[in-house]
Amino acid sequence: MKMKITIDGKPYEVEVEAEDTEAVHAPAAYRPGSYAPPAPPSAPVAGVAAGGGETVADESRVCRSPMVGVVNRINAQEGQEVKVDDALLILEAMKMETSITSPVAGRIRRIRVSAGESVQAGQVLVEFE
């Protein structure tokens, strides 16, 4: 089959030979019509670390880092009352700042990181009472 294509403004006429798609040695996800999105990760089990290698008794009472980064600034203090979505700290990753907000309303029991500290994805940043 002959085809006309344009690359960088220059027209080309090429001849293409169709190949049986079943004979292609590509992973199934790349075969036409057979892509299935990967299954979402399972939810963490209470008491088992979701990442960062730490286990906690009540996963709903902690705030974990969503990514690898460096703690740029801490906006909260231990003992402070916070509401859902109150800013706790700022993480910097790849020259971008991300505001980490409170996932729950309550009192901060402990801030487990300090400014300038590198953190891993899933690491516990803040514990709540």
pTM above 0.75, yes or no: no
Which backbone phi and psi does 13 adopt, to 5 degrees? -110, 120
Mean local confidence (pLDDT), 23-42: 53
pLDDT at position 47 over 50: no
- Residue 108 and residue 125: Cα distance in Å, rounded? 11
- Sorted by where each begins, the domain ranges of the chain are 59-128
**Domain 59-128, what fold?**
OB fold (Dihydrolipoamide Acetyltransferase, E2P) (2.40.50)
Summarize pLDDT for 49-77 with one digit per residue, the tens: 444 557 777 888 999 999 999 999 999 99
- Residue 129 and residue 105: Cα distance in Å, rounded? 10
Summarize pLDDT for 95-107 with one digit per residue, the tens: 999 999 999 999 9
Looking at residue 31, the DSSP 8-state letter turns out to be S
Summarize pLDDT for 72-97 with one digit per residue, the tens: 999 999 999 999 999 999 999 999 99
- The overall average pLDDT reported for the chain is 80
Which residues does 54 contact at the CB level (< 8 Å), separation at least 6? 122, 123, 124
